[in-house]
Amino acid sequence: MIKQARANVPKGSFIHGDVMSVEFPLSSFNGAVAFYSVFHLPREEHQELFRRIYDWLLPGGYLLCTLTRFSEEAYTEDDFFGVTMYWSNYGLEDYKEILARVGFNLLETSAIGHGYTEAHQAPHENHPLVLAQKQPTGRGTV
């Protein structure tokens, strides 16, 4: 994916790393996007992930992310398009509470499909698409 991104955005900076260990200075970004990724981390880490993102955002910065509607314990799918894939997630209502606890204002929730092309013939999915904003000033309640 990084190779494709570099081809499409040659002046961009790309990092291959673990989002739970990478470091950025506080208030570094206007926005963060996490599509189809949060639910591949252990759900016990999700609040900490959102706290980290909150800290990286400038006051008033935005988070746009896909989440899940229903809570599921961790599991591994052995053949997800030819690779082993880990899943772990809370439900949307839990995520709303977590985001608020961290300090985000939830601006909008809509829905988005699975993101695969028709050629993959994957069953239809419906993921919540959440737009949240960091408090213009101050800190959340974590």
pLDDT at 116: 54
30 Cβ neighbours under 8 A, 6+ residues apart: 57, 58, 61, 62
pLDDT tens per residue across span 62-94: 999 999 999 999 999 998 888 999 999 999 999
pLDDT at 50: 98
* Section 40-65 average pLDDT: 97
Note the CATH number of domain 28-115+124-134: 3.40.50.150
| DSSP assigned state of 83 | E
Closest CA to 97 of 46, 32, 25, 31: 46
| 125, pLDDT greater than 90 | no
Q: How far apart are CA 62 and CA 78, in angstroms?
A: 34
Q: How far apart are CA 101 and CA 50, in angstroms?
A: 10
pTM of the model: 0.85
| 42, pLDDT greater than 60 | yes
Q: Please, what's the largest Cα pairwise distance for the chain?
A: 47
Of residues 122 and 10, more confidence is placed in 10
> Of all helices (H) and strands (E), which one includes residue 27?
none
Of residues 14 and 99, more confidence is placed in 99
Closest CA to 58 of 4, 137, 3, 114: 137
